[in-house]
Amino acid sequence: MGYVSIPRNEHTISRKEISENALKVLHRLNKQGYEAYLVGGCIRDLILGKTPKDFDITTNATPEQIQKLFRNCRLVGRRFRLAHIMFGKEIIEVATFRGDHASQEGQTNISKRSQSGMLLRDNVYGTIEQDAIRRDFTMNALYYSINDFTLRDYCGGLKDLQKGIIRLIGDPQTRYREDPVRMLRTVRFAAKLNMAIEPATAEPIKYLAPLLKNIPSARLFDESLKLLQAGNGYKTYELLREYCLFEQLFPIIGRFFTNNQNGYLEKIIAQALKNTDYRIANNKRVNPAFLFAAFFWYPIIEQTQATCVESGLPFHDSFSMTINEVLSEQCKNIAIPRRFTSTMGDIWRLQLRMKKREGKRAFVILEHPKFRAAYDLLEMRASIEKGELLELAKWWDEFQYSSVEKRILMVKQLNKINKRKVKR
């Protein structure tokens, strides 16, 4: 397999933009007689004028050979054996060239596939040419050499990058079956980089989307954060819906979407994602617990109401039961950690408690650690539902920023209003 060699004067990558620690690793591997290149996302980002979050290296040295060269190295992963070279907080990931599965003779601990074609283990080592073919997208098969500062392009990735095209290497159906998460990556890169998905790459996604059920739920949780909490959440959500991927990640939510796509559920998901994107753009903290609390609020309310009718239980009992059922079912698809589900439960329960403000209740609620997140959800709901909820959100907005004296007065006024209602 040939490649196009792009000299330094024809590409924009400069050593000044590369991590010093990555350069150290490249130089040491080269000095010991190994091939070593910067590859993948860091090259893509440098070409696009973005600052890479991390720097990945690929080499013909095996993980064990890499470990012998670096005392600060640890080997990780069973499915893909990798070397992590630690420089304080920075980790330089080094992978051995991936090989062709058709030529595995003499290798141990190599590869294994499931019946659906998914790769369960992939430790087949090979040449740089084989490694390029094994990569997912053409734009990620660009290799930078520190020896002569050239860029090697094996799959036409530079042209695709310049034209704004996301293109899988090889047969899309086969590649998606090898790793169904590639469907999520396709959508994520299209949203993140504002690029178009090449037709042949897009075509199989809708009918192969159910393969995501074969992916471990813990891995899908990590992927969900990359999709929805990386600054392009709303645009990613639109693509996930377009390619029938969102319902695979959140099947409970999918059951409650309306035919006209304009119900309270669709509106709150869109608003929550736009707010998250805004916070990330302004370097503010985001918490997946709040985002998921917003996602599931209306399904929980609808399911609670149905449980009330079916079982005859009081609303609060049905509400608690529904929360447990929804979280249990959702975690089969995306394993949301307990530290987040606990916060989600607090946010949901506070939605009910915030309606009752008489006596000391409002003061107790205000001191709750999750009050601010619960108020934000209340405010978001009010902007969608309007009516009495707007008045409630307005009251809590004023209450939380008032002096103690003003708060006491607000509660007294509320008590008087409620007494009048009872007399009527």
Name the residues annotated as catalytic: 54, 56, 136
- Please name every residue paired with 74 in a beta bridge, in sequence order, or none if there are none: 84
- Please name every residue paired with 137 in a beta bridge, in sequence order, or none if there are none: 168
CA nearest 81: which of 97, 100, 102, 103?
97
Q: Give the CA count within 13 Å in the CB-facing half-sphere of 266.
A: 10
Q: What DSSP string runs through 299-319? A: HHHHHHHHHHHHH---HHHHH
The answer to whether 139 touches 162, Cβ cutoff 8 Å, is no
DSSP character at residue 137: B
The three-class DSSP label of residue 362 is: helix
Tell me how crowded residue 420 is: count the other CB atoms within 10 A of its CB. 9
Considering just the CA atoms, what is the radius of gyration of the chain in Å?
26
**Residue written as token pair 């060699």:** 5
- Euclidean distance between CA atoms 397 and 405, whole angstroms: 16
Cα separations in angstroms, 19 against 23, 58, 96, 403: 6, 15, 20, 51
CA nearest 347: which of 328, 311, 323, 316?
323
The three-class DSSP label of residue 361 is: helix
Beta strands in 103-236 (DSSP E): 111-113, 119-122, 142-144, 151-153, 165-166, 196-197
- Please name every residue paired with 76 in a beta bridge, in sequence order, or none if there are none: 82
Q: What DSSP string runs through 66-96? A: HHHH-TTEEEE-SSS-EEEEEETTEEEEEEE
Over the range 148-184, which residues count as b (16 or more CB within 10 Å of their CB) and which as e?
eebbbbbbbbbebbeeebbbbbeebbebbbbbbbbbb
